[in-house]
Amino acid sequence: MNFNLTDDQKLVRDMVREFAEKELRDKAVEIDESREFPHDTLKKMAPLGLLGMVVPEEYGGAGMDFVTLAIAVEEISRVCASTGVIVAVQNTLAEYPILQFGTDELKKKYLPDMAAGKKIGCICLTEPTAGSDVAGFETTAVLDGDNYIINGSKRFITNGTEADIMIVFAYTDKEKGYHGMDVFVVEKDFPGVSVGKHENLMGIRATGNCEIVFEDCVVPKENLLGPPGEGFKTAMKILDVSRIDIGAQAVGIAQSALDEALKYSKERVQFGKPISSFQFIQGMLVEMATKIEAARLLVLQSAFLKDDGAPRFSLQSSMGKLYAATIAVECARLGVQIHGGVGYTKDYPIERIYRDAKILEIYEGTSEVQKIVIARALLK
Amino acid sequence: MDWLGLNNDHKLLRDDIAGFAKNELEEDVLEFDKEYKFFDSVWKKAAGMGLFGFMLPESVGGADMDAISLALCIEELAVVSPSFAFAVAVQNIGAYAIEKFGGMDNKADIVKDIVKGLKVALCMESICKLKCNDDRTQISGTSGFVVNGDNSKYCLMFASCAERNTYLYLDTADNCEFHKENEIIGMRSAGIGKFEVKPYAISDKNFLQPDEGEIEYLLKICVSAVSTGICAGSYNVAIPYSKERVQFGRPISKFGMVRRMVSEIEENARISRLLTYDAASKFRDGDRLAPYIASVTARDRAMVCGDRAVQVLGGAGYTKDYPAEMYFRDAKTLEALLYSAEEERELIGKIITD
Ligand SMILES: Cc1cc2nc3c(=O)[nH]c(=O)nc-3n(C[C@H](O)[C@H](O)[C@H](O)COP(=O)(O)OP(=O)(O)OC[C@H]3O[C@@H](n4cnc5c(N)ncnc54)[C@H](O)[C@@H]3O)c2cc1C
C-alpha cells in the first residue's frame, strides 16, 4: 500500500496546475459565455502531451499511465470544467478505444494526429431514444462490399461540432441485441456525416455539444473496432475507464468549489472578523474538504487498478464516479452558500462551478445508472 | 375553509392566477430567461388585474386581502416563472411597507402609483449595505442586489444609519443609478441589479418607522411561496416527462429510483406549501417563528426539487430546452440572495431559546 504519487506523476500534476492557472483561468469565464470551443488552448496543451496521455510514444503519445491522466483531468477541471471534459473525451473516449480495440493500422493512422491535437475526437453512443438504455439506439451499419453504410443520428455529443474522428456505435444486426452491435472509427470527412443541432447547455457550455447525423455514411470495413458483434462489451470496457476521468473531473470541480470558498471566506469580513472564523462556515469547509479527499482516493483507486492490469473494475470506477459526482454537486452548492449574495453573480467563478457540477450526475451514466451497475456487481 | 386554511375565494384566486401565469408567461419564459429580459407587457396586465396591492386597503386601490392570498398568487406565478413571481412579491412588499410604515407626505400617491404598476425595488436586509452620514441627512453607496430594480420608480433600501438598521424609501429618479446584472445564476427575469446611490439627501421622512420585523416576515413568506412554486413547477415538468420518456422498453416512471425522485418533488412541494400557508396565516399575529421556519425549509426544498427535475430529465434536463435547469438555478438564487439557512437557523434557535 502506497499513497504517494511517483515523481513523474507529481511533475505532471505541477505542470498541469501551472498551465491551468496561467492559460485557463480567464479563458474559463470567456468560453462559458461565448460557448466557443477552446481550440487555441488545446493547441498549447498538445506539446505538453495532454492530448495523448496514455497513447504510447510509438504512436506519438506521451506514454503515461492512467493515474497521471486522472490527475491531469482533475487539475484542468479545477480551473475549467469545459476544457476538463474535452480533454477527458479526447484521451479516454476517443483515443483509448482505438488504442485498446483498434488494429495496428488504425492506431498508426489516427493516434499520432489525435495525440498531437491536430484531430479532435468524440464518442457517439447516445441517441434520442437511447440514453441510460445504451443498447436502445437505432443507428445501423450495413456491410456493402468493402464498406459499412451507417444510418442514424446521435445526440448530446461532446466535442461534436469540432470532431474530426468519431467513435460511433451502430447495430450490424439488431436482431442479435447485445451481440449485434459494433463500433466504428468514422472520419468527419467520410461521405454522409453532418453536424445537427448545437445544444445550449446550463454548464460546460464550451464543449461543442451537438447532434451528429449519419446519412448513408460510407465507412471502410477496416475501421471496425474490436471483435465483430462485441460492440456492447467494448462500450462497457470503455466506460470502465472513462468513468475514472469523469470522476476525476468531478473531483476537480469539487476542489475548485473548495478553493473559491476558502479564498472568499478568508477575505470576506463580517462583524470585524473574516467569515472563515465562524463555526458554521468552518463546518461547511470541513465537510467539503473531507468528502473531496475521499472522492479523490476512490477515483485514483480505479486508475491504479487500470494501471495494475485489472481486466475489469466496473464496481470501483462506478463507485468513484457516483460518489465524486454527488459530492461535486454538494460542494458547489456549499461554495455558493459561503459566498452569500455575491456567489450567484459571475463576478466569482463559483456561479459557473455550480452550473457545471450538475452535469456530473447525468453524463457517463446517470447516478441512478451507476447505482444499478454497483448493485449488480455487489449482488453477483 | 379546508385543511390548508383556504376558503373558496382563495381557491378561485388560485385558479385565476394559475390561468394567468400559463397564458401570459409560459410561452416566453425560457427565452426571457436566456436574455435576462423582464416581462414588461405582462407586468402591465398584472397591474390591471390588481396583483400589486393584495394586502392594501381599498382606499389606495388595494384588494384588502390576507397574506395567504398573496402567498397563493406568488406561488402560482412562480410555477411558471419564479423570476416574475419574485418581482411581483417585491412590488407587494414595497407597497405594503410604504403604506404601513412610510412617513412621506405623498405616501398615498406613491402607494397608488405602485398599485398601478410603477415599480418599486427592494434591496434586502441580507445584502444591502448602504450607509448614512452621521447626522442622517445623506445616504450613499452601492447597494447589494435589488430585485425588481429595472426601470423602477421607487426603492426600499436597507441601510445602517447611526445606531439604527432600517429600511429607507428612495425615489430612484434622484441620484440613483441602476446597473442591471447580466451575469447571475438565476432569477434572470426579476430585474435584478445594483443601485449606485450618489450622495442622496434624506430626512426623517425617508425612514420607515420601526416595523418590528414585519417587512422581513412578509418577505420570508413570499420567498417561501416562490420556493413552493419552484417545487410545483419542477413537478409539472418532471411528471409528464417521466411518463413519456421510454428507456429499457418502459416509461422511466416505472423505475423505482425515478419514482423516488418524483415522490421527493411532491413531498417537498407539500411541505413547503404547508409551511408557507402556516406562516401566512399567522402573519397578522406577528408570529416570529413561522416565517423563518418556512423560509429555511422551503428554500432548501426548492433546491432539491430543481435538482430532481433536472435529474429526472437526464441530459435533456441539462439543456435550455426545458425549464428544469431554470428552476435549478432560480432555487439557488433564492438560497444565495437572502440570509443563508445557517444564519436563519441561528436566528430561529435564538428566537426559541430567548
Ligand atoms: C452535456 C452532455 C454531454 C454528453 N456527452 C456525450 C457524449 O460525448 N457521447 C455520448 O454518447 N453521450 C453523451 N451524453 C449523453 C449522456 O450520456 C446521457 O444524457 C445520459 O446517459 C442520460 O441519458 P438520457 O439523457 O437519455 O436520460 P434518460 O436515460 O432518459 O434518463 C432520464 C432519467 O431516468 C433515469 N433512469 C433511466 N433508466 C433508469 C433505470 N433503469 N432505473 C432507474 N432510473 C433510470 C435516469 O437516471 C434519469 O434520471 C452527454 C449528455 C450531456 C447532457
In a mutational test of the pocket of ligand 1, which residue from B237, B239, B246, B247 has the highest number of ligand atoms less than 8 Å from its CB?
Answer: B247
pLDDT at res. A341:
67
Residue B178 phi/psi, 5° resolution? -90, 130
On chain A, the residues whose CB falls within 8 A of the CB of B333 are 344
Tens of pLDDT along A133-181?
999 999 999 999 999 999 999 999 999 999 999 999 999 999 999 999 9
A107 alpha-carbon distance from chain centroid? 21
Contacts of B242 (CB under 8 A, 6+ apart): B251, B252, B253, B258, B262, B312
Residue A121 phi/psi, 5° resolution? -115, 160
Residue with more model confidence, A341 or B278: B278
In chain A, residues 314-353 whose CB comes closer than 8 Å to chain B: 329, 333, 336-337, 339-341, 343-347, 351
Do the strands B154-161 and B164-171 form a parallel or antiparallel pair, or are they unpaired? antiparallel
Is the pLDDT confidence value at B4 over 80? no
**Amino acid code (one letter) for A157:** I
Is the pLDDT confidence value at A90 over 70? yes
Report ipTM (2 d.p.): 0.93
Is the pLDDT confidence value at B232 over 50? yes
Do the strands A181-187 and A210-220 form a parallel or antiparallel pair, or are they unpaired? unpaired
d(CA B311, CA B327): 12
**String of DSSP letters for A115-154:** HTTSS-EEEE--BTTBSSSGGG---EEEEETTEEEEEEEE
Separation in Å, CA of B105 to nearest CA in chain A? 34
Q: Are B215 and B100 in contact (CB under 8 A)?
A: no
Do the strands B154-161 and B130-132 form a parallel or antiparallel pair, or are they unpaired? parallel
Residue B115's pLDDT band (cuts 50, 70, 90): very high
Is the pLDDT confidence value at B165 over 80? no
Tens of pLDDT along B118-157?
999 998 766 677 788 888 888 888 887 899 999 999 999 8
Residue A372's pLDDT band (cuts 50, 70, 90): very high
Residue with cell 425549464: B323
Separation in Å, CA of A226 to nearest CA in chain B? 25
A235 three-state secondary structure: helix
B329 three-state secondary structure: helix
d(CA A370, CA A361): 9
Report helix angle A81-88 to A25-34, nearest 10.
90
Q: Could you tell me where the DSSP H helices lie in chain A? A: 7-19, 25-34, 39-45, 66-79, 81-88, 96-101, 104-115, 231-267, 279-307, 314-339, 350-357, 367-379
Separation in Å, CA of A15 to nearest CA in chain B? 32
Q: Which atom of ligand 1 is nearest to the CA of B247?
A: 38
Contact A280 B34 (CB under 8 A): no
Is some CB atom of chain B closer than 8 A to the CB atom of A147? no
Residue B329: closest C-alpha in chain A: A355
Delimit the domains of chain A by residue range: 7-120, 122-231, 232-379
Is some CB atom of chain B closer than 8 A to the CB atom of A137? no
d(CA B211, CA B318): 43
Q: Quote the cell numbers at residue B232.
A: 410545483
Is the pLDDT confidence value at A83 over 60? yes
Q: What is the average per-residue pLDDT within B63-89?
A: 97
Q: Which fold has domain A7-120?
A: Butyryl-Coa Dehydrogenase, subunit A; domain 1 (1.10.540)
* Nearest in space to B131 (alpha carbons), one of B104, B99, B168, B97: B168
A368 Cβ inside 6 Å of ligand 1:
yes
A312 three-state secondary structure: coil
Q: What is the average per-residue pLDDT within A17-36?
A: 96
Residue B1's pLDDT band (cuts 50, 70, 90): very low
pLDDT at res. A184:
98
pLDDT at res. A22:
97
Q: What homologous superfamily does CATH list for A232-379?
A: Butyryl-CoA Dehydrogenase, subunit A, domain 3 (1.20.140.10)
Is the pLDDT confidence value at B160 over 90? no
pLDDT at res. B125:
67
Tens of pLDDT along B185-227?
999 999 999 888 888 888 888 989 888 889 999 999 999 999 9
- B328 C-alpha to center of ligand 1: Å? 18
Contacts of A376 (CB under 8 A, 6+ apart): none
Contact A359 B186 (CB under 8 A): no
Report helix angle B82-101 to B324-337, nearest 10.
30
Q: Is CATH 2.40.110.10 the classification given to domain A122-231? A: yes
- % chain A with pLDDT above 70: 98
The DSSP bridge partners found for residue B273 are none
Is the pLDDT confidence value at B163 over 80? no
B251 Cβ inside 6 Å of ligand 1:
no
**String of DSSP letters for A186-198:** EETTSTTEEEEEE
The Cα angle at residue B326 between residues A349 and A80, in degrees rounded to 5:
25
pLDDT at res. B118:
96
Average pLDDT over chain B reads: 92
Tens of pLDDT along A277-298?
998 899 999 999 999 999 999 9
Residue B207: Cβ within 10 Å count: 20
In a mutational test of the pocket of ligand 1, which residue from B237, B257, B308, B319 has the highest number of ligand atoms less than 8 Å from its CB?
Answer: B257
Contact B317 A280 (CB under 8 A): no
Residue with more model confidence, A340 or A32: A32
pLDDT at res. B110:
95
B186 three-state secondary structure: coil
Question: Which is it for the CA torsion A365, A367, A373, A374, positive or negative?
Answer: positive
Do the strands B120-123 and A273-274 form a parallel or antiparallel pair, or are they unpaired? unpaired
A157 three-state secondary structure: strand
pLDDT at res. B218:
95
Q: Quote the cell numbers at residue B113.
A: 402609483
A135 Cβ inside 6 Å of ligand 1:
no
d(CA A288, CA A255): 8
Residue A106: Cβ within 10 Å count: 18
Domains of chain B: 8-115 (1.10.540.10), 120-206 (2.40.110.10), 214-353 (1.20.140.10)
pLDDT at res. B127:
67
CB-count exposure of residue B105 (10 Å: 0-12, 13-18, 19+) = exposed
